Structure 1
Amino acid sequence: MRAAAFLRFLSTALPVAALALVAGCQSAAPPAPSRNTTALSTMERVALGANACWFKSGDAAFKPYRLAPELNSFSGRPRILIVKRNSPESRPLAVIQAEGHPARLQAFGPLFNEPLGTRMASDVKRFAAGGTGCH
């Protein structure tokens, strides 16, 4: 009789123990997806952030300018340009581009030498890293 009771105990205890063991091996939440660090994905984040925070927000500092994204680049250097609002065909006042994987950012142009340039550089770094929100 004792052997039958022991077998019943094992038949219920083993599945419970196996479930506990499997549950213990799993993490509570799935791992967060890693941020894509290609040049294109980095410049997409920068373009979205710049457009939202500098232009769509109505920021007076950017009123004289417009955003000209050139993300579809066959050179492997997607970029965005900041140009004069009323003269978009003129030479860019700022160029922000990336290349490689992981992306290496470059930002240059006369607008970066103006007081606004410090803020732009800080924003670009934040946008590239995936930061959201405007300052």
Structure 2
Amino acid sequence: MSRTQRGLAAGALLLAALLAGCQSEPMGGPLALQIEAHEPVAALQRINEAGVRCWVRSSDAAFQDLHLVPELDTSVGRPRLLLLRRGKAEGLPVLVIEAAGSPVTLTTYGPLASTRTGGRVNADIKRWSSGTPSCRG
């Protein structure tokens, strides 16, 4: 490898490292969080209210093509919130937020969970379930 090629390769590596450092939000992953709540439905209602306000009704580009569907009827199964693509109500959710147990444990899963938006969702859920209703932490 010539001196010029080595210099270009080193420059490319430096540029890649700098761009990686510019990412403002961490990558997500599935969440399993035990919270202070009396019942799973009440915990999800709080997250649903904040999610509608901060994700769905905001002008945030990360959520502009998504809508939030609450499934809180516990006679059918575990209560959960579904994030779905707009116009695809019958499609698979991109993210599921589920609550169960006593003490209540919140879990998230789905393809959106492992993205940067999933990292933001997890941070929002942690903040909202601790009683802080703000849209940004």
CA RMSD of aligned residues (A): 1.5
Q: Pick closer, same or farther for the CA change 1:130–1:75 going to 2, 3 Å.
A: farther
State the alpha-carbon separation in 2 of the partners of residues 53 and 111 from structure 1. 17
**Which position in structure 2 is the counterpart of 1:125?**
126
Q: Which is bigger in relative contact order (C-alpha 8 A, separation at least 6)?
A: 2
- Please give the per-residue CA displacement for 1:27-59, whole angstroms capped at 9, x wherever unaligned: xxxxxxxx7431111111111111110011222
**Which position in structure 1 is the counterpart of 2:65?**
64
**Which position in structure 2 is the counterpart of 1:49?**
50
> For this pair of structures, how many residues does the alignment match?
101
Determine if contact 1:98/1:106 at 8 Å carries over to the other structure: yes
TM-score normalized by the length of structure 1: 0.69
State the alpha-carbon separation in 2 of the partners of residues 123 and 113 from structure 1. 15
TM-score normalized by the length of structure 2: 0.68
Structure 1 outlier segments of 4+, above 6 Å: none
SS of residue matched to 2:89: coil
The percentage of aligned residue pairs carrying the same residue is 36
Unaligned runs of 5+ in 2: 1-35
State the alpha-carbon separation in 2 of the partners of residues 89 and 75 from structure 1. 18
State the alpha-carbon separation in 1 of the partners of residues 69 and 98 from structure 2. 12
Q: CA deviation at 1:92?
A: 0.7
Unaligned runs of 5+ in 1: 1-34
One-letter amino acid of the structure 2 residue matched with residue 88 of structure 1 = A
**Which position in structure 1 is the counterpart of 2:105?**
104
Q: Could you say which structure has the higher helix fraction?
A: 1
